[in-house]
Amino acid sequence: MSILVDERTRLAVAGITGREGSFHTLNDRRYGTNVVGGVTPGKGGQDVEGIPVFDSWAEAMAEAQPNTAMIFVPPRFAADSILEAAAAGVALVIAITEGIPAHDELRVYNMLRRDHPGTRLIGPNCPGILSPGKANVGIIPASFFKEGNVGVVSRSGTLTYQIGNEIARAGFGCSTIVGIGGDPVPGSSFVDVLELFEADEQTELVVLSGEIGGSAEEEAADYIAEHMSKPVVAYIAGFTAPAGKQMGHAGAIVSGSAGTAAAKAQALEARGVRVGRTPTEAAEIAVEVLGGASVPAP
Amino acid sequence: MDLLEYQGKQLFARHGLRVSSGKAVTTVEDARKAAEEVGYPVVVKAQVLIGGRGKAGGVKLAADAEETAMHAGNILGMDIHGHTVNTLWIEHASDIATEYYASVLLDRSAKKPLVMFSVEGGVDIEQVAEESPEKLIRHHVDPLEGLSREEAREIARRGGVDPDVVEGVADALVALYEVWKAEDATLAEINPLIVTPEREVKALDAKVSLDANALYRHPENQSLADGENEDPIERRAKEEGVQYVKLDGDIGILGNGAGLVMSTLDVVAQAGGSPANFLDAGGGSDAEKIKQAVELILANDAVKAVLFNIFGGITRGDEVAKGLIAAFDEIRPSVPFVVRLDGTNDVEGRRLLQEAALPNVHAAQTMNDAAELVVALAAGQKGAEVHV
């Protein structure tokens, strides 16, 4: 198994004709992901190294039946592209685009719930999803990961690579790595993804990597305590971040006394989740729980 | 992007929220002229992005020209919790019968706008929420529908406002929601929202934060925010499109990816060091961007050592190495660097750095080792004898 993306994935990409869009789409295809089309208004009929380009999501759906959409268009067009993909009936939309206005994200989130409850959104401002050995949708460098039993869910891309790589060096692999993104209104939260990992046979342990801002980690802590049978190991970034300053991600900001790393780590630990003080320690705890040796020095 | 009070009030007025007439000024002379225009008595208010202005002496009532000049002279240049007062807002003084609180914000947990209202205005609202939560009305709005007048009236009634101002408060709430929505705000807060003896409902203060990601559709708001108090390096970084936050310490930090950089700051702090900045070089940084980032880090005189923590995904280790070599060629930094390269093309990157044999550049294998080494270097405990 694994979650969200695998051999059954039929991927179409909005923004496939752009520089970044085509680069990463072709990378994903080289990994083995089944890429069935692209969407760029006005460029229908063209192709990107054999991948057919359509003018709209409706047309892409009629011609190529994608079940997964990747959004690579600039921020001002991204919200409409997500909604258009959902309206065409795409079940999973993965939005890589960074810099979408928060109000657009709010509109998208609430419209999907009201009008397209069958569509799940991951991101925006995320690195995508990788199920090692099966499919890669997004920009996660697949070479650092191998197939295995650890599920990873994270608000940060590079931090995921850091932790995942340390777990791989200790001899363990991943079922699926899910980047939920660093924006204030993500389409899917930690809880949504934890629920999928709990139900996934391949996954035996989940690593959750959070950061300052919002309360998604606190909500995850409650969910883990009440609904998860599988062990979860956490890492939280941003203990030294000053209040009121946005730390790179639009969602990474301590507002007043809310959203601090200390409060998140505390909430998780109070619910019995072990929290690593460094990415390395989080990986070591994960390896220990899995019953392996501690991470050898590289 | 946080706005000064007077800028927030300008947005309020744009959407029909009642505010007192006033003027923003930067000199004593202009303060006096503004006071004549708006009519005495006036309030002289420091414009800074920090709470507690009143207690710090940054808000004063003036009955005539002499008092206006005296207060303006005292407040201009004043330091309020680290913020220098460069601008004053001169506003006609309001008579106050009652003080309420109102705000609209983005509730990240509910993924909906949240309207908050309380008849306990003019005080710290977090305190009200803690001590008498029943006095703080919280109402989630369906963002696809907006805030209706009927909902707004209901909030006012539930909050327990005087019956004769239910309509006035509802008007203010609907207008405040409109400010939040139309201006792409993440927060629009009025504390206090006052009722005058004539039973007029008015915003006496304004706290507004705008979403920087949405500025492209609000060109008229591009120039807002407190440019004067902005850190000069942060301003330069913003112009160059680099994610940089100035911090208080002496260890410069560069990494790729917001999460990894936040984590690097933490690991340096755990090793006993104090980070001087947050800098996310982003995905796919090329040599030119790395050079630019090094210049920004070294623009801060407090920096005694620099840590590069790169886990290459899209970013390639060889590009980072080339950037660092180019930066050294031009800038010739006098402080030590510690470089940890991992991920895409890390071997090639490390080879390039070794060949270049840059003076005072040290390689580290892991993030933890790198943090310990850079802390020691910043403290002057290790010098040239540190081997690569």
Q: Is the pLDDT of residue B276 over 80?
A: yes
Share of chain B above pLDDT 70, in %: 97
- Please check whether residue B370 is in contact with residue B340, taking contact to mean a CB–CB distance below 8 angstroms: yes
Answer yes or no: are the C-beta atoms of A235 and A159 closer than 8 Å.
yes
Same domain, B59 and B183: no
pLDDT of residue B223: 84
Contact A245, A259 (CB under 8 A): no
Rounded CA separation A164/A161 (Å): 5
Q: What is the mean pLDDT of residues A238-256?
A: 89
Distance from CA of A64 to the nearest CA of B (A): 29
- Cα–Cα distance for residue pair A54/A49, rounded to 1 Å: 14
Cα Rg of chain B, angstroms: 26
- Confidence grade of residue B283 (pLDDT, cut at 50, 70, 90): low
Whether B342 contacts chain A with CB within 8 A = yes
Per-residue model confidence as pLDDT tens digits over B131-143: 999 999 999 999 9
The enclosing domain of B306 has a CATH number of: 3.40.50.261
Q: Answer whether A141 sits within 8 Å of B313, measured CB to CB.
A: yes
Residue A288 has a pLDDT of 93
Handedness of CA A113, A117, A122, A123 (dihedral sign): negative
Could you tell me if residue B384 is inside a domain?
Answer: no
- The CATH number assigned to the domain with range A11-122 reads 3.40.50.720
**Contacts with A261 from chain B: Cβ below 8 Å:** 266
* Average model confidence (pLDDT) across chain B: 92
| For residues B228-257, average pLDDT | 91
Q: List C-alpha distances in Å: A274 to A224, A228, A237, A265, B147.
A: 12, 14, 15, 9, 42
Average of per-residue pLDDT values in chain A: 94
- Residue A212 in contact with partner chain B when CB distance is under 8 A: yes
Q: What whole-number percentage of chain A has pLDDT above 90?
A: 85
- Dump pLDDT digits (tens) for A186-212: 999 999 999 999 999 999 999 999 999
Please check whether residues B258 and B201 belong to one and the same domain.
no
Q: CB B111 to CB A252 under 8 A?
A: no
Residue B184 is nearest to which of A103, A139, A246, comparing CB atoms? Answer: A103
The answer to whether residue B145 scores a pLDDT higher than 90 is yes
Q: Does residue B385 lie in a domain region?
A: no
Residue among B184, B211, B367 whose CB faces A279 most closely: B367
The three-class DSSP label of residue A81 is: helix
Residues B81 and B106 in one domain: no
d(CA B366, CA B253): 15
- B386 has pLDDT over 90: no
| Domain limits for position B238 | 232-378
pLDDT(A293) > 70: no
d(CA A190, CA A208): 8
A19 near B CB under 8 A: no
Predicted confidence (pLDDT) per residue in B297-349, tens digit: 999 999 999 999 998 777 788 888 888 898 888 888 899 999 999 887 888 88
How far apart are the CA of A292 and the nearest CA of chain B, in angstroms? 21
Closest chain A C-alpha to B181 CA, distance in angstroms: 8
Partner A, chain B 102-141, Cβ-Cβ below 8 Å: 106, 108-109, 111-113, 126
Q: What is the pLDDT of residues B27-85, one digit of tens each?
A: 999 999 999 999 999 999 999 998 889 899 999 999 999 999 999 999 999 999 889 99
Residue B197 lies in a domain: yes
In chain A, list all ranges with CATH 3.40.50.261. Answer: 141-290
Q: Are B74 and B57 in contact (CB under 8 A)?
A: yes
Range(s) within chain A of domains with CATH label 3.40.50.720: 11-122
Q: How many domains does chain B have?
A: 3
B212/B259 same-domain check? no
Strands A120-122, A92-95: pairing is parallel
Shortest distance between the Cα of A251 and any Cα of chain B, in A, equals 9
Residues B220 and B246 both lie in one domain: no
Q: Which of B193, B208, B224 is the last residue of a domain?
A: B224
Percentage of chain B surpassing pLDDT 90? 73
CATH number of the domain enclosing B160: 3.30.470.20
Same domain membership, residue B107 and residue B76: no
The secondary structure of residue A295, as a DSSP letter, is P
Mean pLDDT of A18-45: 95
CA distance B192 to B121: 5
What is the reported pLDDT for B381?
A: 66
pTM of the entire structure?
0.93
Q: A159 and A209 in contact (C-beta within 8 Å)?
A: yes
For residue B19, give the DSSP letter.
B
Query: Which residue of B268, B311, B340 to mutate against A (max A Cβ within 10 Å)?
Result: B311
pLDDT at B285: 67
pLDDT recorded at residue B95: 95
Distance CA A277, CA A265 (A): 9
Task: Please enumerate in sequence order all residues whose Cβ is within 8 A of that of A208, keeping only pairs 6 or more positions apart, or say none.
Answer: A153, A154, A190, A194, A217, A220, A232, A233, A234, A235, A268, A273
- The alpha-carbon gap from A9 to the nearest alpha carbon of chain B, in Å, equals 23
Q: Which chain A residues are within 8 Å of B254, Cβ to Cβ? A: none
DSSP for B113-173, written as a single string: EEEEEES--SS-HHHHHHH-GGGEEEEE--TTT---HHHHHHHHHHHT--GGGHHHHHHHH
Identify whether residues B106 and B81 lie together within a single domain. no
- Do the Cβ atoms of A157 and B143 come within 8 Å? no
Among the partner residues B108, B214, B259, nearest to A157 by beta-carbon distance: B259
Pairing of strands A274-276, A232-237: parallel
Are residues B151 and B214 both part of a single domain? yes
CA dist., res. A102 & res. A89, Å (int): 24
Does residue B16 fall inside a structural domain? no
Q: Is B5 helix (H, G, I), strand (E, B) or coil?
A: helix
Average pLDDT over residues B152-171: 97
CB B280 within 8 A of CB B255: yes
Higher pLDDT, B132 or A85: A85
- How many residues are present in chain A? 298
- Residue A127: left (phi > 0), alpha (psi -120 to 50), or beta? alpha
Within 228-257 of A, beta carbons closer than 8 Å to B belong to: 235, 237-242, 244-252, 256-257
Superfamily of domain A141-290: Succinyl-CoA synthetase domains (3.40.50.261)
Tokens of B125: 């609202």
Q: What pLDDT score does B330 carry?
A: 86
Q: Which residues in chain A are closer than 8 Å to B257, comparing Cβ atoms? A: 156-159, 248
> How many C-beta atoms surround the C-beta of residue A291 within 10 A?
8
Quick one: how far is CA B281 from the chain centroid?
A: 20
* Crossing angle between the packed helical segments B367-378 and A279-290, to the nearest 10 degrees: 150
**Is residue A224 over pLDDT 80?**
yes
Residue among B5, B91, B151, B189 flagged as catalytic: B189
What whole-number distance in Å separates Cα of residue A207 and Cα of residue A186? 19
Tell me which H or E stretch contains A176. Answer: strand A174-179
pLDDT in tens, A114-156: 999 999 999 999 999 999 999 999 999 898 899 999 999 999 9
Instruction: Give the per-residue SS3 of B231-296.
Output: CHHHHHHHHHCCEEEECCCCEEEEECCHHHHHHHHHHHHHCCCCECEEEECCCCCCHHHHHHHHHH
Domain contains B164: yes
Interface confidence (ipTM) of the complex: 0.91
- Pick the catalytic residue: B101, B177, B319, B372? B101
A227 is catalytic: no
State how beta strands B22-25 and A274-276 pair.
unpaired
Identify whether residues B310 and B369 lie together within a single domain.
Answer: yes
* A2-16, A105-119, A252-266, B20-34: least confident range: A252-266
Q: Which of B197, B224, B251 is the last residue of a domain?
A: B224
Do B117 and B137 meet the contact criterion of CB atoms below 8 Å apart? yes
pLDDT of residue A295: 45
Instruction: Tell me the average pLDDT across A94-102.
Output: 96
Q: Are residues B107 and B216 in the same domain?
A: yes
The minimal CB distance from A184 to the residues B108, B216, B260 is found for B108
CB burial string A95-115: b at 16+ within 10 A, e below: bbbbbbbbbbbbbbbbbbeee
* B274 and B334 inside one domain: yes
Both tokens of B76, joined, read: 């201009």
Which DSSP state fits B39?
A: -
Residues B342 and B356 in one domain: yes
CA angle B226, B227, B229 (to 5 degrees): 70
**CB spacing of A297 vs B214 below 8 angstroms:** no
